[in-house]
Amino acid sequence: MRLLYHHRTRSADGQYVHIASLTNAISAAGHELTVCGPDGVSAVHATPARRMDAGSGAKRGIIAHLPKAFYELAELAYSVPAYWRLKRAARAENPNIIYERYNLYFLAGLWLRQQTRLPLILEVNAPLRRERMRHHGLALSNLARWAERKVWRGADAVLPVTQVLADELVAEGVAPEKIHVIANGVQLGDFDDANGDAVRRKYALRDKIVLGFTGFVRDWHGVDTILDYLAARHDGRLHLMIVGDGPHLLALHARAVELGIEPQVTFTGVIQRALIPDHIAAFDIALQPRVTEYASPLKLFEYMALGKAILAPAQPNIEEILTDAENAVLFQPDERNALFAALDILTRDPSIRATLGACARRTIIDRDLTWEGNAARVLKIAEELIDKREESHASHCAKT
What is the span of the domain harbouring residue 103?
2-185+370-399
Based on the domain organization, do 9 and 67 belong to the same domain? yes
User: What b/e sequence results for 134-169 when a residue is b if at least 16 CB atoms lie within 10 Å of its CB, and e otherwise?
Assistant: eeeebebeebbbebbeebbbbbbbbbbbbbbbbbbb
Is the separation of the CB atoms in 251 and 281 below 8 Å?
Answer: no
Based on the domain organization, do 172 and 278 belong to the same domain? no
Based on the domain organization, do 167 and 285 belong to the same domain? no
Task: Kindly report the number of other CB atoms within 10 A of residue 66's CB atom.
Answer: 12
Based on the domain organization, do 341 and 391 belong to the same domain? no
Based on the domain organization, do 102 and 234 belong to the same domain? no
- Give dist(CA 334, CA 348) in Å, integer: 22
Based on the domain organization, do 171 and 36 belong to the same domain? yes
- pLDDT given at position 9: 86
- Give dist(CA 380, CA 368) in Å, integer: 15
Closest CA to 13 of 321, 372, 299, 285: 299
Is the separation of the CB atoms in 276 and 333 below 8 Å?
Answer: no
- pLDDT given at position 390: 77
**Per-run averaged pLDDT (10 residues), the chain, 400 residues:** 92 83 94 82 40 44 73 94 94 95 97 96 96 91 97 98 98 98 96 96 96 93 97 97 94 97 96 95 98 96 98 98 98 96 97 98 98 98 92 66
Based on the domain organization, do 180 and 246 belong to the same domain? no
222: left (phi over 0), alpha (psi -120 to 50) or beta: left
- Give the containing element (helix H, strand E) for 395: helix 371-399
Q: What is the pLDDT of residues 205-257, one digit of tens each?
A: 999 999 999 999 999 899 999 999 999 999 999 999 999 999 999 999 999 99
Residues in the chain: 400
Based on the domain organization, do 98 and 17 belong to the same domain? yes
The burial of 333, by beta-carbon neighbours within 10 Å (0-12 exposed, 13-18 middle, 19 or more buried), is given as middle
Is the separation of the CB atoms in 123 and 102 below 8 Å?
Answer: yes
Based on the domain organization, do 194 and 174 belong to the same domain? no
Based on the domain organization, do 82 and 172 belong to the same domain? yes
Which pairs from 161-164 meet CB under 8 Å and 24+ separation?
A: 161/124, 161/125, 161/294, 161/295, 161/296, 162/294, 162/295, 162/296, 162/316, 162/317, 162/320, 163/316, 163/317, 163/320, 164/293, 164/294, 164/316, 164/317, 164/320
- pLDDT given at position 42: 41
Based on the domain organization, do 351 and 386 belong to the same domain? no
- pLDDT given at position 136: 85
Residues 6 or more apart whose CB falls under 8 angstroms from that of 340 comprise 229, 232
- pLDDT given at position 389: 84
- pLDDT given at position 63: 57
The whole-model pTM stands at 0.91
Closest CA to 124 of 59, 187, 170, 61: 170
Closest CA to 68 of 105, 108, 107: 105
Based on the domain organization, do 336 and 375 belong to the same domain? no
User: What total number of domains does the chain contain?
Assistant: 2
In this structure, the dihedral spanned by the alpha carbons of residues 341, 342, 346 and 349, taken in order and rounded to 10 degrees, is 50
Closest CA to 374 of 309, 323, 312, 301: 301
- pLDDT given at position 399: 66
CATH number, domain at 280?
3.40.50.2000
- Give dist(CA 43, CA 125) in Å, integer: 22
- Give dist(CA 240, CA 352) in Å, integer: 19
